[in-house]
Chains A and B, each alone.
Chain A
Amino acid sequence: MATVTEAEPLFADPRERPFTARQLLELDACTRCGECLRACDSFRVKGDEGVSLMGMIRRRRQLFREDRSLLRRLFHRDGRDASEDAWSRYQQGVFDCTLCGRCEVYCPVGIRTRDLAIAMRQELATARCMLPQNLDRARDAVLEEGNIFGYPNEERALWAEFLEDLPADLLNKERADVLYFVGCVSSFSPAVQEIPQAFLRVLLKAGIDVGLLAGEEWCCGFPLIVGGLAKDAEQVIRRNIERLHRFGAKTVVFNCPSCYCAWRRYYPLDGVRLMHSAEFIAELVHSGRLKFRPPDAAVTYHDPCDLGRGLGVYDAPREVLRALAGEAYVELTPSRERALCCGGGGDVEIWDPELVGEVNSMLTSAVDKSGAQVVVQGCPQCKRTTQRGLSAKGSAVRTMDIAELALEYGTFTIGAADDSRPSSFER
């Protein structure tokens, strides 16, 4: 297991180097073809091109041009910066992006749109001190309390205390084979606390030696990284890694794709297996330890952005759902790489909560059209926004996390694992 020393920075200092060479090249590669506008749900809602990647690139290029123009170099060598209004319009668009990454799939020239948008946020937040005020508070909450909500972190595992069948020592365990990293939203948001409750039960029913960090678990750092505050995220990342080492687990499981994405992409770890709940449940199905009784409703699946486009996990949840529902599984349109955004990503809820609901309404319309009675998701934030959106529309469609589904329809067999069947999710 790799150790991280204080001397090793995890992220470049954006004040010195806001954009990489690749990203500066990408600014030039954009042809303003507008394909990203077709993909952008924030643009459809706002009607402002500046929230799309094309608009962000166009505005940033304009700001670069103003800074580097010949006239400026001749007459304003140390003069004024580009107008504050221009910067502020640019900032509004950059922070209204949900970072869903749909535009990356549509972009014909292969621009890594999410990374570019995050770099733009980093530059604004750090090099230009233009972090939106609410994000400022969220950062303080993470760094002072250890969670994005600013609640006392000791209350992080309150959701588990409501479980009647919880083993007495679970919350006091100091070592376990598997660490369940719950994440802030699942831990603190009452609307989705059924998810960790269900997934923990799944883990226990499957006979897994699992433990929680409870109040010692801190925010994964993802909201800070995507908010443009990667340097601030370093300290929570180091803290979580240090707790993991102390816990001695060789596998970490997540029900939150953003936490999973943060750990997979930004945590310098060797020899530790990281798995999302959908992948874990798919393995149980493959090994024969989990069997389903058929559901009484048609089900569909919504790909969370960070799990699908972010990490390429599309097949594991579908294998679970096909094993469960067979013909009663219907594919959402659009799905997989082109799946719609729930609106809850990219810290937009902190900065522009109204936008979340409006973006989400496109997803709920697609869910309604699918004819399914249950929409399965693999993300607490997606579930939170979607159930709110469906209920606002008066829709009867039920939202469920994949772990809740496994618990409700699954039968677990401990010790009867058919290990001869290869798991397609082994890494």
Chain B
Amino acid sequence: MDALFHGLSALALAVFAWGVFERVRFWFRPELRGNPGGIRWGRALSLAARGVRRLLRPPTLRTLFWNGLVQRQLWRESRQRWLMHMSLSWSFAGLFIVGSGGNFLLDLGVPLTKNDHWFAATNDFLGLTLLLGVAIALQRRFLSPKPHVRTVLEDTAILALLAFLALSGYLVEAARYLKEGTPDGAAAYAFVGYSLSRTLEPLGADWARAYDAFWWLHASSGLALVAYLPYSKLFHMFASPTTIAISAPTAQEVAAWPR
């Protein structure tokens, strides 16, 4: 099972990496095309070095903090949209870091278990905020659609996938408690998974098999999302901070502004 999961993870990461490479190659195509159409790698390196230098300037870091991390522009335009976007982006990032970081630590032999209080509480909390973001997005798109919001199939599919990831995560946790027994204090820190396990308990299912099924559903949908990311609008999580960073005014631009 482990080998299969690691194989699928490697495949998802390869698809992801290829997508990112294609995107970046597409952006820099006009800058890097030499005669007769090949990539000029020296130019690529010089552009990369310039980008890093620019990124490390205080105005760029300030712009990135306020417009990228805190999303101040959205706050100014709509508090609801800000809450939605912050919930989606930070929960997604947090769950990815906690999930993959947790697995990485386990691989390193760090004595971490899924029942560690901080680990379960963080996952449960971020899952809820992710669902909150999805709920606000659905409300804005379908229940009281704003005139300027346009919904295409891709938007709905991404929201459905995110919601499925969060919900299947809770199912995995609940099935695990039913399979292995609930650890002490789980009601306090695994507040969603524990409650769900109590709700499902009367079903009397084969929880070991249910756990495996839920786990695979959750893991494979997570990997599918990783693979799909560079080919979807979700790629803006990389492209948008980059434009925000390069939109930070240069010293020359600031000097040229009328006073």
Contacts and interface: CB of A to CB of B under 8 A. Distances in A.
B150 A49 contact: yes
Contacts of B31: 20-21
Interface string A10-36: 000000011111101110111111110
B240 A31 contact: yes
Contact of A19 (B30, B81, B235): B30
Nearest to B248: A110
B179 interface: no
Contacts of B74: 108
A402 B169 CA distance: 64
A37 interface: yes
A54 B147 CA distance: 14
Contacts of A326: none
B246 A31 contact: no
A111 interface: yes
Contact of B240 (A34, A49, A109, A112): A109
Given A17-B30, A21-B30, A110-B67, A28 B23 contact: yes
Contact of B243 (A18, A26, A49, A68): A26
Size bracket of the B interface:
35 or more
Nearest to A423: B259
> Most A CB atoms within 10 A — which of B148, B155, B239?
B148
A311 B258 CA distance: 8
B182 interface: no
Given A109-B236, A110-B67, A425-B259, A29 B242 contact: yes
A230 to B, nearest CB: 15
A109 B247 CA distance: 9
Contacts of B73: 108
B233 interface: yes
Contacts of A29: 236, 239-240, 242-243
B246 A109 contact: no
Contact of A427 (B148, B149, B152, B259): B259
Interface string B50-92: 0000000000000100010001011001000100000000000
Contacts of B23: 28
B163 to A, nearest CB: 19
A286 B256 CA distance: 21
B88 to A, nearest CB: 11
Nearest to B63: A110
B257 to A, nearest CB: 5
A145 to B, nearest CB: 33
A211 B149 CA distance: 53
Nearest to B28: A21
Contacts of B71: 108
Contacts of A37: 147-148, 150
A51 to B, nearest CB: 13
A20 B81 CA distance: 31
B161 interface: no
Interface string B17-54: 00000010011111100000000000000010000000
Interface in A32-68: 32-35, 37-38, 49, 54, 64, 68
Contacts of A38: 148
Interface string A306-326: 000001110110000000000
Nearest to B240: A109
Nearest to B243: A29
Given A32-B150, A106-B77, A108-B73, A25 B258 contact: no
B244 interface: yes
Nearest to B255: A427
Contacts of A30: 236
> Which among A25, A32, A64, A316 has the greatest number of chain B C-beta atoms within 10 A?
A25
A364 to B, nearest CB: 22
Contacts of B148: 34-35, 37-38
Nearest to A316: B258
Contacts of A427: 258-259
Given A32-B155, A34-B150, A109-B244, 16 more contacts: A17-B30, A21-B27, A21-B29, A22-B243, A24-B26, A26-B243, A30-B236, A31-B236, A32-B152, A33-B149, A34-B148, A37-B150, A109-B239, A109-B243, A110-B243, A311-B258
* 4 A-B pairs with the lowest CB-CB distances in the bound complex, closest first: A110-B247, A34-B148, A37-B148, A29-B239
6 contacts: A21-B27, A64-B26, A108-B73, A108-B77, A112-B247, A279-B258
